[in-house]
Structure 1
Amino acid sequence: MSTAMYHVKPLHGTTHVQDLPTCMYHMKNQSGPDVVNKGTSHFASPVSELVKRQECIIEKLEALQSRISSLTSAASQHHESKADLKDSRDINCFKDVVIACSPTLHPRAILNLLTKLATRHSILLTYYVHSSATSKPCHDLSRNGFEMNLVGSCRTDKWMVITWIWKECNECEMIVSPVRQTKIVGEVNICRYLTRLLGEYPESPVAATVLDQWLDNASIIARGSNTKQNEALSKLAQRLSMSRYIAGNTAGIEDLVNFSAVSNSGLSDKWKNNKHIKQWCTLMS
């Protein structure tokens, strides 16, 4: 059966290919190719100018950034060199330190640290008794290397000169800079300064904080009220029940300062029945 209803013979040969239109309507170019090219260049010109301006701005910003970096580096180097110079001056310059103390007090911790400092550096130790002193000094400073009334001795060739003056005062005082009159008050604070001078202050923040807590505890024992003193001594007894010294197996700066505070405050007799404090006082004596 046929699949087509009608059969139409081709009007042309099978080898001929008919080109079909690709556009429905044709319209002549009203501007011409020259006008189109001019329009394209006209619209492209602002873009190229904008690109050039942007590149110029970027170059200026890069030059500015380079300049800022060089200035920052130069300022940093200047600051570091200035800090190093300041530190070197502070370390290497001649120090003339004056310590004033009541003749009724025996600042064991300060004297212990000064003795240790004298073994490491060339230090001139001298002492005087001020006219305001109403009693004889309770401690002989010659045991710690001090000499009395060193007149005419060479001072400038020493790393440090320490002058101890026995006079009537409530607390120990240290004048670090006679020119600026920089004063450090209290045995605990003087020991902080000397410990840093010896380079033995802990670098670890945790260890330094623990040391500061025990130094503050000594300040309470020395100058606190009766209630605060008993609390500080209870804390001390609790610590000594766990270790031989406050610092552990060996005595540290915290032991020296707390023992000096307990001895000068007269509380050692009050707490002599506590076996831990009694044993510790015996070891520290």
Structure 2
Amino acid sequence: MNGPHTMYRMKPVLCFTDEIELPQCMYKMKNIQETFHANREDASPTCPKPTSISEQVKKLLKCPLPEVAALENRQEAILKQLNQLKEQMTALRKELRQSVPKPINETQHHTFEAGLQDRLQDIVVNASPQHPPYSLIALARLWNAKVNLRLSCHIHSTVVNAPKNECFGNMDNQTGTENVPELTIFIVWKNVGAETEMVISPISQSTVRGEPNILRYLCRVGPVEYNYEQIENLFDQTKIDEILDSCYHIARCRTKKEKLQGIFTITSELGKSDYLLGKTSPSVADIAFWSVLKQVDQTTRKDLASNVVTWFQRCSEIFSAGQ
């Protein structure tokens, strides 16, 4: 082994023949391509010298490499398998009597109603009998045209007596609107205090704590017109978040004075309009605040201002939950 080993030769992708002006301050090196072409006997017939780089690129595009063709064939095979999986899933949905989501098209104005069924999954809410989540009843009434929201109540072994409230009992096995997505919320009466819990994933035990935070989650996955985060007015978005946080605080206040202070902070501008935020129709802020007032004791409710009492009665009529 006295000399260098001869390696295999590879045809260059581009034959660049133009001269390049090199700086004189660097050391010079032989042109590897020129040496390669000089040693090849069949360089001129198989690798003609094109006039420009653009022509060489066009030639490569017309005659793709074998690797590119193999990649395209592999992609076509994967797409074919995906279509077969989609057909199998559709057949399974029909066999299990589940609604097949309709494809989203441009005529739906990006309301995402076609994918609503995929976003809605049955969830479990652990609630204390002393702090019933009345906001779920309000959502069921407002979403009636878009989602059949059903409430199924159950009693945990740690609870002796379930809350005697006809509102939740009437929401079980109710008849909803046809051809709309369905969502069942299983309410488990459990001694969790004011920390109402919503279990999103039983496997990972992911929970959302607090009734206002549960409202935030449901508004994001529910009908897009009830998602307050889609409002163009950023001030209203911030105000709704502030009211939801205040409702979270009121539910945990221990004294009557603290509760009245929190209520006054929310209703300071209520007299200027029928609902919170100066709106003509109830929003998620009205739902959260109405639920909190439903949970406070009668002595605290007697000290409410007249405009707050009027607003409370108006919301109770809309949400059809009585007082």
TM tier relative to shorter chain:
0.5 to 0.7
Could you give the per-residue CA deviations for residues 125-174 of structure 1, whole angstroms, max 9, x where no partner exists?
43321221122323232312x249xxxxxxxxx85442221122213110
Correspondence list, 1:73-152, <5 A:
92=118, 95-117=121-143, 119-121=145-147, 125-140=151-166, 141-144=168-171, 146-147=172-173
Pick one of 8, 23, 27 that aligns with 1:50. Answer: 23
Partner Cα separation in structure 2 for residue 120 and residue 271 of structure 1: 36
What TM-score, normalized to structure 1?
Answer: 0.59
Partner Cα separation in structure 2 for residue 237 and residue 98 of structure 1: 32
Partner Cα separation in structure 1 for residue 139 and residue 185 of structure 2: 12
Contact 2:123–2:185 (CA under 8 A) maintained in structure 1: yes
Aligned to 2:307: 276
Partner Cα separation in structure 2 for residue 232 and residue 123 of structure 1: 30
Aligned to 1:193: 217
Partner secondary structure for residue 224 of structure 1:
coil
Q: Structure 1 unaligned runs (5+)?
A: 1-46, 60-86, 149-157
Structure possessing the higher radius of gyration over alpha carbons: 1
Deviation for aligned residue 1:115: 4.6
Instruction: Give the partner amino acid of 1:127.
Output: C
Partner Cα separation in structure 1 for residue 130 and residue 164 of structure 2: 6
| Stretch moving more, 250-259 or 105-114 | 105-114
Aligned to 1:82: none
Count how many residue pairs are aligned between Structure 1 and Structure 2: 199
Deviation for aligned residue 1:122: 5.7
Pick one of 243, 248, 254 that aligns with 2:285. Answer: 254
Partner Cα separation in structure 2 for residue 132 and residue 192 of structure 1: 28
Aligned to 1:213: 242
Could you give the per-residue CA deviations for residues 39-59 of structure 1, whole angstroms, max 9, x where no partner exists?
xxxxxxxx95428x9xx9xx9
For the aligned residue pairs, the C-alpha RMSD in angstroms reads: 3.5
Pick one of 175, 185, 207 that aligns with 1:162. Answer: 185
Partner secondary structure for residue 276 of structure 2:
coil
Could you give the per-residue CA deviations for residues 34-77 of structure 1, whole angstroms, max 9, x where no partner exists?
xxxxxxxxxxxxx95428x9xx9xx9xxxxxxxxxxxxxxxxxx
Q: Is 2:271 aligned against 1:241?
A: yes
Contact 1:122–1:160 (CA under 8 A) maintained in structure 2: yes
| Stretch moving more, 223-232 or 200-209 | 223-232
Q: 1:268 to 1:236 in 2, by over 3 A?
A: farther
Partner Cα separation in structure 1 for residue 115 and residue 290 of structure 2: 35
Instruction: Give the partner amino acid of 1:100.
Output: N
What TM-score, normalized to structure 2?
Answer: 0.52
Report sequence identity in percent: 21
Could you give the per-residue CA deviations for residues 92-131 of structure 1, whole angstroms, max 9, x where no partner exists?
2672311111123332112221454464246664332122
Partner secondary structure for residue 204 of structure 2:
coil
Partner secondary structure for residue 250 of structure 2:
helix
Relative to its length, the structure with more helix (as a share) is: 1
Contact 1:96–1:177 (CA under 8 A) maintained in structure 2: no
Aligned to 1:16: none
Contact 1:101–1:168 (CA under 8 A) maintained in structure 2: yes
Pick one of 243, 256, 261 that aligns with 1:231. Answer: 261
Contact 2:153–2:169 (CA under 8 A) maintained in structure 1: no
Q: Structure 2 unaligned runs (5+)?
A: 1-19, 32-52, 54-111, 175-180, 317-323
Aligned to 2:97: none
Could you give the per-residue CA deviations for residues 17-36 of structure 1, whole angstroms, max 9, x where no partner exists?
xxxxxxxxxxxxxxxxxxxx
Contact 1:109–1:257 (CA under 8 A) maintained in structure 2: yes
Partner Cα separation in structure 2 for residue 269 and residue 282 of structure 1: 16
